[in-house]
Chains A and B, each alone.
Chain A
Amino acid sequence: MPINRPTADELTSAIRKYRNKPDPDAKVDGYYQKIIAHLDALLEREALLGEAFARGERSRCISTAALLGLPENDLEEICRCFAEDDISDMLPLIIELWLPLAKEKLAIDSPRYRK
């Protein structure tokens, strides 16, 4: 469950592009300024929490691979296994593993979403 795209670099570039050529309509520009403020805050949170999130993700991959008896613990293999529903009766344990990580990702991308 990596951080979704656009990545931080791609978002920074998107903001820069808009700032270089803002919308001439003040009302429309006001709307985009709100989006920029939202994205600036998101990028700050990612700078703060992103590394811990990546470590958490790595540990989930290792635990999931062990749980499912997979020889590899990379995301591709885990996604293949999930997509084939090749998880026997492990779904509750898988949810237990990944739901806290989904919450960690929300803490970066949309912290008010669960409230």
Chain B
Amino acid sequence: MAVTAEQIHRILPPLLEKALGKPCVIKQCRRLTAGASADTWKLEADCAGPRQWILRLDAGAEDLGMAPGKRWEALAQQEAGRSGCPVAQVVAILSGDEGLGEGYVMTALSGESLPPVLLKDHAYEFARAQFCHHAAAALAAIHRAPTDKLKGLPTQDALLQVEQLYAMHLSYGEQLPVFSLAYGWLKKHAPKITKPVLVHGDFRLGNFLLTENTLNGVLDWELTHLGDPMEDLGWLCVNAWRFGRRDKPVAGIASRRDLFMAYEKATGQPVDPARVRYWELLGTFKWGVICQYQANSYLSGHVPSLERAAIGRRVAETEYDMLVCLQEQLELSHAD
């Protein structure tokens, strides 16, 4: 059952008063998206002055089986913020007992997130030029965040993810040799993690708020987990997140070399390019399974949306990309 504005007006103020120690009145609340995995609302409140907040609630409808839940999502975001990653400040965390389901309230940040605008608009030229520097600084903060308070996050190494995704792929009943080929290779070459760190899990264009000068916020922590830091770098380079700019592997903006140099400078740790490429292939495989998942949600009658039906045919893009990634892997190993 979807949460209503009336429930928010009734349930949230005492929780916010308890969290902030000040009287709070919600003046307005407006649903922004009723997405697949989060129900997001914009709140205008008075709490010792005007406030603009975002409420994210568990939509409860769909789950790829990889999300830790809204409470842990909020805690991860909080820890990353304390380490210096630009994130919205978490104001209150909802355990689920309050009557709205699991969720959290955070400050609303300014900035633009739409990839076509960020990639084309002249206003973001400086932000694009500085993108690797800012993205690497954000990643460094995420990856150095202490994990002792994040024990509830799952550790997801490469092999676990590959097995989970292939099982999902098989459940859709399509015989697609490229998925099997990528799976066989990824399974055989899966890197082991020596020291799991906090990983964002969906660090890509579309989940960043950029102002004209800087990266103002890293959004959408719903796939966060503990794992290999190289995963975030690889996912940022997946072709789907280049939005048509195939020649600029990092978010359609920059080269891998620029990102790796910026990351090494920000962390003092060397980047393992082969491992990043591994995660890029795994990311492409993951995106392919997500496309199948979304198409299947239409085919099973769960989400009767034409958009969901159409995305099934984007699987062809991921099959092509997986073969190209495999070919590049071979070229790289040959060059070694």
Contacts and interface: CB of A to CB of B under 8 A. Distances in A.
Contacts, number: 122
A115 B310 CA distance: 20
B47 interface: no
B320 A82 contact: no
Interface residues of B, number: 39
A94 B296 CA distance: 28
A79 B184 CA distance: 10
Nearest to A21: B304
Nearest to B182: A82
B185 A91 contact: yes
A2 B174 contact: yes
B39 interface: no
A75 B175 contact: yes
* Consensus secondary structure, chain B interface: helix
A87 interface: yes
Contacts of B314: 109-110
Interface string A54-98: 000000000010000000000110111011111100011011001
Interface in B258-313: 292, 295-296, 298-299, 304, 306-307, 309-310, 312-313
B180 interface: yes
A109 B184 contact: no
Given A35-B307, A39-B310, A106 B323 contact: no
B320 A2 contact: no
A4 B180 contact: no
Given A91-B330, A95-B326, A110-B317, A11 B309 contact: yes
Given A5-B295, A32-B306, A99-B323, A82 B312 contact: no
Given A11-B309, A17-B304, A82-B184, A105 B174 contact: no
Q: Which range holds the interface residue count of chain A? A: 35 or more
Contacts of A18: 306
B267 to A, nearest CB: 33
Interface string A6-28: 10001100110110000000000
Interface of B: 166, 172, 174-181, 183-185, 187-188, 246, 292, 295-296, 298-299, 304, 306-307, 309-310, 312-317, 319-320, 323-324, 326-327, 330
- The 10 A-B residue pairs with the shortest CB-CB distance in the complex, in nearest-first order: A85-B184, A82-B180, A109-B316, A79-B180, A75-B175, A14-B309, A102-B320, A83-B180, A82-B181, A4-B315
